[in-house]
Amino acid sequence: MAYGQTGSGKTYTMIGSENNPGIAPRAFQRLFQLVEAGHSRHSVLASAYMMELYNDKLIDLFRPPGNTDNEKLDIKKDKKGSVHVQGATVCSVSSAGELTRAFKQGLTNRHTAATKMNVESSRSHLIIVVCLNITSKQTGSVLKGKLTLVDLAGSERVSKSGATADQLREANSINKSLSALGDVVSALSSESSFVPYRYVLTSLHHSDL
């Protein structure tokens, strides 16, 4: 989870460049190296879904071109406490290259805008979830794993950002959700009996935090 002020390098750290890959493509590469190393003992099915949280609304970044119906995205929690997003487009992937290409395609749909503090400021929280179903070839037992990577929108003082009316609304939504995330982390670190998972961002990461 990349967190920090606008312009501090969160998105570059997470995504990187063609010559200097960031955390996400490096993680994808390492993940499939491990899958390949264990292929004699396990069969693995990998899939991913990717979304942004923009103005407190989840938007599917893997949606087919021209499809703007994101009303079906809904946060659900199973009996084991694992969180998933119902209605998200799930892409099956068989290599780091496939996953990286899907990730880059999803990035083209993300909301960005110029502010005084950053010429291309991310105006949404970006989340990609990679799911693994690992089946033992010897026993048939199944294990499930999940890798969640998050590039949070930048926190900034509205007075310094040069925000338009729409960007002011975006900034207020961003700052409110980041504050809620801070409240959850604080409650967890102090082992509070009540953890305020009441906003979309914190509910989405209930099983990750």
Fold of 10-204: Kinesin (3.40.850)
Cβ neighbours of residue 140 under 8 Å, at least 6 residues apart? none
Is 9 annotated for ligand binding?
Answer: yes
**Has 81 been labeled as part of a binding site?**
no
7 labelled ligand-binding:
yes
6 marked as part of a ligand binding site: yes
Q: Which of 102-116, 132-146, 195-209 has the highest mean pLDDT?
A: 132-146
Please state the rounded mean pLDDT for residues 76-84.
Answer: 83
Of residues 130, 163, 128, the one with CA closest to residue 144: 130
Which DSSP letter does residue 72 get? T
Q: How confident is the model at residue 69 (pLDDT cuts 50, 70, 90)?
A: low
Q: What is the pLDDT of residue 123?
A: 78
Is 4 flagged in the annotation as binding?
yes
Q: Is 38 annotated as belonging to a binding site?
A: no
* Tokens encoding 191: 């082992």
Q: In the chain, what is the straight-line distance between the N-terminal and C-terminal CA atoms, in Å? A: 10
The answer on whether 162 is annotated among ligand-binding residues is no
- Could you report the per-residue pLDDT of 20-62, keeping only the tens digit for each? 999 999 999 999 999 999 999 999 999 999 999 998 899 999 9
- Per-residue pLDDT of 3-19, as tens digits, reads 988 888 998 999 999 89
d(CA 73, CA 75): 7
Using alpha carbons, select from 186, 184, 174 the residue that is nearest to residue 52. 174
pLDDT of residue 209: 82
The tokens 């998050």 sit on which residue?
A: 150
8 known member of a binding site: yes
